Structure 1
């Protein structure tokens, strides 16, 4: 397997340069300036389980020639990379309703790198298949020890190993180190969402409208859906995200495609709500959505959340793009394809990617140039040949 050696910067702690984020503080005061919203601010902030993992990350890649990571400050004009991890833990209320995991501990069956462009006019979401064979570098554990590197091992083992060695902070740190080893992309922060947290986010939005092409019956995912247009509540949306063996070819790659369709639908619904113009609605959403959220210290700050949301308020659906890391089969696993390096380079350099899907639910297309169209012939007035009417076809359930 060919893995790019990441560029490294000197080992350091994440800089504390929030004085440069005065705009975020002002925005926070606007949003939460009254005594009612000051209380709401405190409630929401205390919901979030934040972890400082700087000491567990060791040497880091550089980004776009910078000497140190860009702060999570939307006023800074710097790109941001956040890794979103879906934990399959069964610990806790709601999570325990989904039975036990096949083995002890918890794993990350969903991993997405969310790249937010420096201009805040693009969001690119890249999924890494959990079955990718990678090198897991030495990872810091909760007791102060560091593990030995692992080679040709499944990607989601990094999260499981870190979780067993200390908890969610070490799980995130080991996963981030593995992503940076794989891609050379600097990860600025992380979000971990468990089953209960995912359900809370969907229900806080009031459900997610989706069209289901065919009926689904998946007892393992606790999912029963009819075909057609419908609004999925939190539990049905979770089941759709988890469903695997009853759909398609049963592969994790197929499931990633469905998860991206679901996240695209979530983005459509979230952007349609105009939450920033309705403060009570914003509070209710954040209070519910953050109740079981785990993040790093910076992204878990309410001013950062509010600032990022505000800076992205004008983004259009076509500019939110989804892609899966290019890969090749390796038995019942996959390995990164050569094209993966082109994707990682685009993220490192904050360049747009083509993607396989956008949040409008469409396959992104590139505008052809005049040369590519080959439209150089004179128009003709000749009548087209008459053909028989095509046979009527059955109307698809989902247009």
Structure 2
């Protein structure tokens, strides 16, 4: 593969002009900022975000349904969006370094979620891709302009570490996006990379996240010691819960994905319960804290776009935020996508609702809530473990 100019690069000016024409929601959000007396803080928040223009790194890409070129993020023109959220285990920075060195050095992404936002802004589907999925990783461009060799039968999360050669976050995100687009045929509109410090900041900016743990967590590798029962997790506790693996469940990355989805659902409940998307002073305080270590693409990293997208989602129902894991089958200690995975990707490409395994309301989705049959394909799970002895009462009932 060569480093030739990708076919989408030539349309940058046209996409930018569409953003200017379709920015009504973003403009309204800025008016609300001004009316609440915090407009002076705009540049403070914008300066927090580390933005990377990765367009030239992505090459030939899928197209959005019915459009030769995708509309910019939240143009308010009725287009669905696909945003990749990546969790980085980098140890750069004081907070990240406090978690020790990574086992293999460098940085990896053990958490990858595709957040699909429906065109009418009434639904969000969040799909986790297991890090151990065997995929083809295409040739990726690095910061020095060179291209990596394509790989087959590679573990999915190596796409991030491959692109992060010499520490490039933008190239790491770009290589992951190229891999996702080749795997799914879905056009990815933008990305967010959150490191340990960024995740801690998000949770602490909310004032913590209420959770109920059925069993205590004591996982030194995840720096997590959390008692069982109902409590409010602070940022470090929530990060430990998200990372815990060896001392809870079956020790697999798959079981950790389920807990991460439960945690993200709880964060969504807390954010929407505090009316952050309509209380502009509170939204500013949250964004100022939460974006201090955020890395994004050029569009989502724009405060007008970010505020506009947040405001357009202000009325979303918790049961319309649905979580699912890519359907897979085991291949030894790795996994492969199944035929049901392609059905899932097709639903996202066509902006159709999915059944899912969990909603942000904490419930298993129903046909009434999602509009899809309750017997729709779901992720294949490993053989069930023996049922534990029943306990008299549940801590989380």
Superposition TM-score, scaled by structure 2 size:
0.90
The equivalences for 1:362-373 within 5 A come to 362-367=363-368
After TM superposition, give the deviation of residue 289 of structure 1 in Å: 0.3
Q: Is the 8 A contact 2:203 2:238 kept in 1?
A: yes
Q: Is the 8 A contact 1:129 1:252 kept in 2?
A: yes
Q: Which residue of 2 aligns with 1:287?
A: 288
Q: Which residue of 2 aligns with 1:217?
A: 218
After TM superposition, give the deviation of residue 367 of structure 1 in Å: 4.5
Q: Which residue of 1 aligns with 2:85?
A: 84
2:71 is equivalent to residue 70 of structure 1: yes
What are the Cα deviations for residues 144-188 of structure 1, in whole angstroms up to 9, with x where unaligned?
121121110000111001111560000000000000000001000
2:54 is equivalent to residue 57 of structure 1: no
The equivalences for 1:195-210 within 5 A come to 195-210=196-211
Report the structure number with the largest CA radius of gyration.
1
Q: Which residue of 2 aligns with 1:102?
A: 103
Q: Is the 8 A contact 1:27 1:303 kept in 2?
A: no
Q: 1:11 to 1:22 in 2, by over 3 A?
A: closer
Q: Which residue of 1 aligns with 2:169?
A: 168
Q: 1:89 to 1:166 in 2, by over 3 A?
A: closer
SS of match in other structure, 2:267 = helix
**Inter-partner Cα distance in structure 2 for 1:299 and 1:11:** 18
After TM superposition, give the deviation of residue 20 of structure 1 in Å: 1.6
What are the Cα deviations for residues 59-93 of structure 1, in whole angstroms up to 9, with x where unaligned?
01012121012211251100000000000001101
Q: 1:176 to 1:282 in 2, by over 3 A?
A: same
What are the Cα deviations for residues 324-368 of structure 1, in whole angstroms up to 9, with x where unaligned?
000111111111111100000000000000000000111112249
Q: Is the 8 A contact 2:8 2:69 kept in 1?
A: no
Q: Which residue of 1 aligns with 2:396?
A: 398
State which drifts further: 165-174 or 232-241.
165-174
The equivalences for 1:109-124 within 5 A come to 109-124=110-125
The equivalences for 1:1-399 within 5 A come to 10-13=7-10, 14=12, 15-16=15-16, 17-33=18-34, 37-165=38-166, 167-367=168-368, 394-399=392-397
What are the Cα deviations for residues 108-157 of structure 1, in whole angstroms up to 9, with x where unaligned?
01000000000000000000000101000011111112112111000011
Q: Is the 8 A contact 1:12 1:59 kept in 2?
A: no
Superposition TM-score, scaled by structure 1 size:
0.89
Q: Is the 8 A contact 1:179 1:185 kept in 2?
A: yes
Q: Is the 8 A contact 1:31 1:37 kept in 2?
A: no
SS of match in other structure, 2:363 = coil
For structure 2, which runs of at least 5 residues remain unmatched after alignment? 1-5, 375-389
For structure 1, which runs of at least 5 residues remain unmatched after alignment? 1-8, 374-391
> For the aligned residues, what is the CA RMSD?
1.9
After TM superposition, give the deviation of residue 397 of structure 1 in Å: 1.0
Count of aligned positions: 370
**Inter-partner Cα distance in structure 1 for 2:272 and 2:368:** 26
After TM superposition, give the deviation of residue 278 of structure 1 in Å: 2.8
